[in-house]
Structure 1
Amino acid sequence: MLNLKNVIKSYDNKKVLNDLSLSIEKGEIVSVLGSSGSGKTTLLNCLLGIVDLDGGEIILDNKDITNEPIEKRGFNIVFQDYALFPHLSAYRNIVYGWRNNPSVCTQEEVDSLIDLLELREHLDKDIDQLSGGQKQRVALARTLTLKPKVLLLDEPLSALDGVIRESIKETIKTISREFQLTTIIVTHDPEEALTMSDKVLILNKGKIAQFDTPENIIKHPQDEFVKTFILNQLYIKKDNIMKLFGDTHA
């Protein structure tokens, strides 16, 4: 569904993305994981079309979109800070993009999204009256009314904690399954990546260190970097991960 072929991006003669090639199936949830400077944000910007590639191709549904403008790519993003309009109500935020392009979605579909995301009782509230989880749901609803082919999420849980964090995790998984929506999540949190995703892309200095299922990454890290990066960071949360994937002998 989405193919990256030999993608290269450099800044100041330094390769930030170095010959990336991978395939993502329709409806898959893929997390992009890596330390600061690994190329996560650059990859996100390249997918969106905010920056141009220096080499390689981006193929979506067998169509080369490498040089397509942002508005024609079929991608949409929910930013880390939600990027909601503070002077508009929750409902007016949700329908903001749809009102400019009403043919893409029916009123019934908008209402269905509102109910799916449990926002009905919050529609008349100002944005500053909403909790972090409610803001995240409003941002998701606004994006989904435009029916993207690929949903991009930039650190979707970073501002959340506790029960709200787990609730949004489940919401994202439900949306992906319900709409067969290919979802790419950029995160710095290994636990988040491993517990939300069908596959995890681990970047190291602009190269693919491993692209695999969470279970394989936990049980069969491809090299010492993956083992150290993932398992060391997960050690304090080890009990949670072991419940999902069993004993890794880490």
Structure 2
Amino acid sequence: MLKLEHIQKSFDGVHILNDLSLEIPNGEIVSILGPSGSGKTTLLNLILGITEIDEGRILFNEQDMTHVPMEQRGFNIVFQDYALFPNLTAFENITYGLKNKPQISSPEEVQELVHLLGLEKHLEKRIDQLSGGQKQRVALARTLVMKPKILLLDEPLSALDGVIKESIKERIKMIAKEYNLTTIIVTHDPEEALTLSDRVLIINEGQISQYGKPEDIMNQPSCDFVQDFILNQLEIKRRNIFALFHPMQEQMV
């Protein structure tokens, strides 16, 4: 279990996270939602170890990770832009981290992961030959072969559309269950969070507004902010989709 206890973080005297505490059970998918500047990415970076906390503790399976360096935590992240090496093939990207730590995953385990993510036909392709969805799957595979204790995803579906997005969502859920892998996702899309996650964390101004199952978020919002934020974001998404298919009508609305 991942535990955050009374986390505080400020930058230049401005409070970003203020006395934030929560528990994430092993194997669950948790999405972090909130307005721009609410502290979502800061929270992800604190868990990963990129940023040090000012006060509080981070524990994983009762081990204090608060001051453990990022490279020793065993938590891995897939960034929004994938951060793949353009001069390497898909397979070379996937196995890049194993060059220095080949004992982490056997060739058979790598092939199993490649099969799970449906990448068999794309292994010899250059990165510029891959679609957005294929790049996302390669980035996931590259992270997963290192067998992270926690998988962190920063806006993993933001560059994807339609069927591809739904396919990646299903693969993320499949992977979390297959490997009992705690997965934490930062997203701006409430529909994505509500349909992908076991629990949703909504933060505003550095504090938890609500943390619960998707059905509780929708049916029992804890406050007016949660209700308004979810409804407003869903309405914005609806209008964007409508404008895409009916541009002239949207201009008249």
TM class by shorter-chain length?
A: over 0.9
Q: CA deviation at 1:234?
A: 1.7
Matches within 5 A, 1:67-106: 67-106=67-106
Flag structure 1 segments of 5+ consecutive residues without an equivalent: 239-250
Asked whether 1:179 is paired with 2:179, we answer yes
Q: CA deviation at 1:231?
A: 1.7
Q: CA deviation at 1:100?
A: 1.4
Distance in 2, matches of 1:2 and 1:98, equals 26
Q: SS of the residue aligned with 1:104?
A: coil
Per-residue Cα deviation, 1:106-137 (whole angstroms, up to 9, x for no partner): 11100100000000110000000000000000
Distance in 2, matches of 1:176 and 1:47, equals 18
In structure 2, give the amino acid aligned to 1:40: K
Distance in 1, matches of 2:192 and 2:28, equals 16
In structure 1, give the amino acid aligned to 2:104: V
In structure 2, give the amino acid aligned to 1:54: D
Per-residue Cα deviation, 1:136-187 (whole angstroms, up to 9, x for no partner): 0000000000000100000000000011011001010000011000000000
- Name the TM-score, length of structure 2 as normaliser: 0.92
Equivalent in the alignment of 1:241: none
Distance in 2, matches of 1:237 and 1:211, equals 22
Distance in 2, matches of 1:173 and 1:68, equals 28
Q: CA deviation at 1:237?
A: 6.4
Q: CA deviation at 1:232?
A: 2.3
Matches within 5 A, 1:76-225: 76-225=76-225
Matches within 5 A, 1:55-70: 55-70=55-70
Equivalent in the alignment of 1:11: 11
Distance in 2, matches of 1:23 and 1:2, equals 6
Distance in 1, matches of 2:115 and 2:66, equals 36
Q: Which runs of 4+ in 1 moved over 4 A?
A: none
Question: Contact conserved, 1:218 with 1:231, CA < 8 A, in 2?
Answer: no
Distance in 1, matches of 2:155 and 2:133, equals 13
In structure 2, give the amino acid aligned to 1:14: V
Distance in 1, matches of 2:28 and 2:182, equals 5
Distance in 2, matches of 1:236 and 1:37, equals 18
Question: Contact conserved, 1:17 with 1:207, CA < 8 A, in 2?
Answer: yes
Q: SS of the residue aligned with 1:81?
A: coil
Q: SS of the residue aligned with 2:9?
A: strand
Flag structure 2 segments of 5+ consecutive residues without an equivalent: 239-253
- Name the TM-score, length of structure 1 as normaliser: 0.94
Q: SS of the residue aligned with 2:76?
A: strand
